[in-house]
Chain A
Amino acid sequence: MADDAQQESVITDEMRNQIGIEGAETVSELTTTSVRMFARSVGYVDPVFYDLDLAEERGYRGLPAPPGYLGTPIFNPAESDPTFGGRRGGGGFRSPYPLVLNGGTDVEYFDEPICSGDVLTSRTKLESLNERWSGALGVPMLIQVSATTYTNQDGRVVAISRGTGISYPRSGD
């Protein structure tokens, strides 16, 4: 595309060198309140997300986590991102573009359910970096795919999440 050819790559060798390297550990908690809040925010009416006795009757250790909920990172003002709550600069590098959009999400779950009371440890690895032109926004985009592995307090991998992040400049920058 002509627009692609006109844009100089913003991907540096330093950024490419981050691919495949696992970032620092993040610890996330699931509480009964956080599970209920997540379920409420999606609009679930299944009582299993709200009633601990029912959840235990159905074989869960606590309230089950709705799909998409992988705990809440423990917030630390010194290290956490004030907007997104996770570790600041999560991918191990900073995009040169200030604006971000979520391009896609892929979560795979394993046999052990994720429940309130769990403490999940996760590490994120940058898998790829690519650039494209956005016809809709009229700006270049940097597309970053990262994989995060979540392990519970018993050392069992409970989920692997892949996220596609899209960053781009303000129009006219």
Chain B
Amino acid sequence: MRPNVNSGFESDQWYAVGGSAALAAGRLMPATVLESELVVWRDSGGTVHAWHNRCIHRGLRMTLGFVDGDTLACRYHGWRYGAGGKCKVIPAHPGMIPPDDFQIPAYAVCEHAGLIWASIGAAGDSVDFDGPGEHLRFCRDLVVRRAPERVSALAKRAIFRPYGDGEDDLIYEHREIAPSVIRIDARSGGDTATIMLAIQPITADRTGVHVLAGGETTDERLHYAAWARRLRWFMENPDAANSSWNPLSIDHS
């Protein structure tokens, strides 16, 4: 039951699944892209992997497992899987070399602009858009209980008040700088503040939104984190009474 093909959310694209900084070496996290469950993990050397979230032996979710050096271990029988999803060790038979076809399907994964990106289809070599610059950093992962198409449309009219600025004379520009990546610039006089929203189609009615925003000081980061929380609430309640707190209150379409 995938979102229909006309939604623009194709399997052959890169989708952000989380902030790079939120996944430390030796840790794993679950992610879902277009209904497919992934395990995303970072080995002890710092390399990120994204695989089908299922052990080939008895079907256990690999997200219940644990990272052991440069391998991911299944929690059920301790099978260790290394680069490319290849099975390296089967503890029940310590001397056995696992056959070549004992392999978990591995997906393309890369890190760019402070985010981890994965593709469950045949995406290009890496995420292809200019980074937002040094002044933006990972702010929040949101999960919105709305369809990806709907969230994407709402993201294209989201506005924000730049940290430290008044609300006068702001001019907003929304651009889709890559499939599923929306950049919002707010200009006031000669200054520009930027927020970037990377949309992750999770299921037909759940959507991830990964927010990059300014964050030189704690106060600035709190300002944008509070904005992100409000953005999610109004995306889930788009018919709520208008409010100066509503990041979607001005229609720029």
Asked if A and B are interacting partners, one says: no
Taking Cβ atoms with an 8 Å cutoff, the residues of A that contact B are none
Taking Cβ atoms with an 8 Å cutoff, the residues of B that contact A are none
